Amino acid sequence: YYGGEGLGAFVQHGMAAPRPIHVRQPAAEPLVIVGSRSHRGDSLDGVLARIGPHEMRPMGSSLKFCLVAEGEADFYPRLGPTSEWDTAAAQALVEAAGGGVTTLDGMPLRYNERDTLLNPHFLAFGDRRTGRRQAGRALHRAYADVVDRQLRRRELAEMVVGELEPRLRVEAVGRLPLA
């Protein structure tokens, strides 16, 4: 796989001639989603539950970007850690094929602009209209639910700790060696 801005995107298998590739527009119905086989979590499951009809294809490596670029998949949500070197070339390929890669707030994924080389969570998609709209709504709803659950857990933990704290202090003081 290779490509570049103004050149397009291509795939070459063995000694065969390179073949131009393009993202699928419009997106398939149901959406074909590629995701990490090893980094799947509650966040992704929440998104998939809300995204509507879809076909999930779990796989490893940057091949997920390549399938979006080649039009074999419509959407790749990454809700786990990656580094800039994991995504830069793959993002260039998706964009050269007509797709996009954005952060969850819809901004293009950028490089060398943070104090860390870790990427924020992102979406790679082929059909800029359908993929971003459907995935974006589902992601925002799912993340709102995840954040709400985390806040509820934190509040519950603070209530429990608040109730136990006086007893814990008494027990700790009772165990201090007397001088």
Segment 68-92, tens digit of pLDDT: 999 999 989 888 889 999 999 999 9
Residue 129 burial by Cβ neighbours in a 10 Å radius (0-12, 13-18, 19+) = exposed
Residue 67 has pLDDT above 90, yes or no: yes
Quick check: 158 pLDDT over 70?
Answer: no
Beta carbons within 10 angstroms of residue 158's beta carbon: 10
Return the higher-pLDDT residue of 12 and 48.
12
Q: Which residues share a beta bridge with 59?
A: 36
- Is 0.85 surpassed by the pTM of this model? no
Q: Using one digit for the tens of pLDDT, what is the confidence trace for 50-66?
A: 777 889 999 877 899 99
Residue 3's beta-bridge partner residues? 9
146-155: b (≥16 Cβ within 10 Å) or e: beeeeeeeee
For the beta carbon of residue 104, count every other beta carbon within 10 angstroms: 17
Q: What 3-state DSSP class applies to 22? A: coil
More confident residue, 55 or 135: 55
- Is residue 172's pLDDT more than 60? no
Beta carbons of 109 and 77 less than 8 angstroms apart? no
